[in-house]
Structure 1
């Protein structure tokens, strides 16, 4: 079974990070408001990034890590800017 860690951009410009074993279905739940919570009042949402992994533990670990990132670092991930992510990680560790 495969799992995904994903990031949504909400209508208010904020980001939501989650994980699931059925990405298409979960995005539909967020889009319809079926899940309520954070995205329920910030629709519509747009999938801006996802990564496939092989275990739920990996997906959850990635979700928790990314949730702790700054907005700028999340946007670097969306853009696939690995140099920027590395630079931002180094600058944070030096503060």
Structure 2
């Protein structure tokens, strides 16, 4: 069974990058060495791996990556810090403006 990983990197400018891969160690190495010059992380090195989780289904990993990418910074930090109880309360809510 091949594992897939969803990961979050903290960039040198304090932003977060979320990605998905089947080879976490190699992907982090490529991010940190600037292997992908057009990637968001290229000019934001050095990078720190702050979160990852394993998936046995790559399709589910891709769905979760896309979901996390839409999250607010605060919600991503709750995930990174393992504050899973706060995640539901940090969902973005849209209210009509009058």
Which structure has the greater CA radius of gyration? 2
What RMSD in Å do the two structures reach over aligned CA positions? Answer: 1.0
Match of 1:58 in 2: 60
- Partner Cα separation in structure 1 for residue 28 and residue 50 of structure 2: 11
2:16 matches 1:15 = yes
Runs (4 or more) in structure 1 with deviation over 4 Å come to none
Match of 1:32 in 2: 33
Q: Which runs of 5+ in 1 are unaligned?
A: none
The match for 2:87 among 77, 80, 85 is: 85
- Partner Cα separation in structure 2 for residue 62 and residue 87 of structure 1: 18
Name the SS for the 1:5 alignment partner.
strand
| Larger proportion of helix | 1
Normalised by the length of structure 1, the TM-score is: 0.93
Normalised by the length of structure 2, the TM-score is: 0.90
The match for 2:43 among 23, 41, 49 is: 41
